[in-house]
Amino acid sequence: MNSSIASRFKGRDVISVLDFSKEDIEYLFKLTDHYLSNGYKEVLRGKVMAVAFFEPSTRTRLSFEAAMSRLGGSVIGFSSEEGTSVAKGEKFIDTIRMLDSYADVIVVRHRYEGSAKLAAEVAEHPVINAGDGRNEHPTQALLDLYTIYRLRGDVSSLVIGLIGDLKYARVVNSFLYILTIFKPKKVYLISHPLLRLREDVRRFVESRNVKVEEVFDINEVLSELDVLYVTRIQKERFPDPLEYEKVKNAYRVTAEITKRCKDDLIILHPLPRVDELDRSLDNTKHAVYFKQASFGVPLRAALLTLILGGVEGVYT
Ligand code: NCD
């Protein structure tokens, strides 16, 4: 155990994936590896995690909850505004302030960009961003990168393609930000012209010396890809339903691509999927998205262990 790195995690907020250094992330991955090979220990007994999910979620919330339970801690919270005082008009910051007095860590998801940062300003205890509008979803990016690290090793030699809704998907922003720390060989941004990556995000990624290129057709680059990251069209984030209608069938990745892709291409998807990722791919060796989702528990367990200061108990 490297106690100086461990101490950097203790009590910290996780708002953006850019809050971490490469060394921090590699350390987190080692602890994740440890949990996967050795199982969990109840190092967070007596600790309480609050989940404040103002937006729908399946995997993120449940994997945080499973992680906390595996570590011996307990969970309070809510998974929608219904049934809480938010439905009565309680302000976001009042809800956070209250949870802060009940729990040791707060995991928050909200439709507004900047909500996690605001929560962190109000709360004394650490806040983990589980998705703030179309901005970021840092623990998803950690999990995505962990999947690549685990299955393919060194990221620096890889060509990575992102396909789908690059405009509204927060997972895309966080994934690209983490790639600025790990620097793959090249990134292809594959999207319909109406779903292109936001200019500010693209400029930032390029300013960190990551080679990116936009293409509108996957066939132009398919044979070069080592990793294909597919995203869902974020229907709920379109300000104009007509804009959504124009792109709703813009792309669909099917088993057809396996005829022309690299033999060891891996396909990731944060899930949930709708029609963009065909089930015909599920039984191919390229599909790793369910494995990716399964890594959510050990990765989030490692993060909670470090933030709540339980790491010494893991190795003793
Ligand atoms: C993602 C999200 O909520 O941003 N889901 C997840 O956490 N696995 C992606 C999505 O909803 O498309």
Same domain, 300 and 288: no
Range of the domain at 60: 3-134+296-314
- Per 3-state DSSP, the chain is made up of helix, strand and coil in percentages (nearest 5) of 50, 15, 35
Lowest mean per-residue pLDDT among 79-88, 218-227, 300-309? 79-88
What value does the mean pLDDT take over residues 56-71? 96
Same domain, 178 and 252: yes
What value does the mean pLDDT take over residues 43-66? 96
pLDDT score, position 81: 81
User: Model confidence at 83, in pLDDT bands (50, 70, 90)?
Assistant: confident
Give the pLDDT confidence of 92-122 residue by residue, as tens digits.
999 999 999 999 999 999 999 999 999 999 9
pLDDT score, position 96: 96
Same domain, 61 and 208: no
For a mutational test of ligand 1's pocket, the pick from 137, 163, 170, i.e. the residue with the most ligand atoms closer than 8 A to its C-beta, is 137
Is 61's C-beta closer than 6 angstroms to any atom of ligand 1? Answer: no
The strand ranges marked E within the chain are 48-53, 74-78, 105-110, 127-132, 159-163, 186-190, 212-215, 227-230, 266-268
Number of domains in the chain: 2
pLDDT score, position 2: 79
* Integer Cα distance of 20 and 63 in angstroms: 21
Same domain, 114 and 219: no
pTM of the predicted protein model: 0.96
Same domain, 32 and 175: no
Same domain, 243 and 146: yes
DSSP string, 252-300: -B-GGGGGTS-TT-EEE--S--SSSB-GGGTTSTTB-HHHHHHTHHHHH
pLDDT score, position 151: 97
Contacts of residue 256, Cβ cutoff 8 Å, sequence gap at least 6: none
pLDDT at 87 over 80: no
Look up the CATH number of the domain holding residue 124: 3.40.50.1370
Same domain, 288 and 300: no
Give the pLDDT confidence of 184-240 residue by residue, as tens digits.
999 999 999 999 999 999 999 999 999 999 999 999 999 999 999 999 999 999 999
Same domain, 156 and 263: yes
pLDDT score, position 140: 98
Atom 8 of ligand 1: nearest residue by CA position? 270
Give the pLDDT confidence of 142-194 residue by residue, as tens digits.
999 999 999 999 999 999 999 999 999 999 999 999 999 999 999 999 999 99
Same domain, 235 and 301: no
Long-range residue pairs from 278-281, CB within 8 A, at least 24 positions apart, any chain: 278/252, 278/253, 278/254, 280/254, 280/255, 281/253, 281/254, 281/255, 281/257
* Integer Cα distance of 285 and 265 in angstroms: 9
Atom 11 of ligand 1: nearest residue by CA position? 272
Same domain, 119 and 222: no
pLDDT at 86 over 80: no
* Integer Cα distance of 75 and 80 in angstroms: 15
Atom of ligand 1 nearest to the CA of 231: 12
Same domain, 274 and 154: yes
Same domain, 93 and 146: no
Is 111's C-beta closer than 6 angstroms to any atom of ligand 1? Answer: no
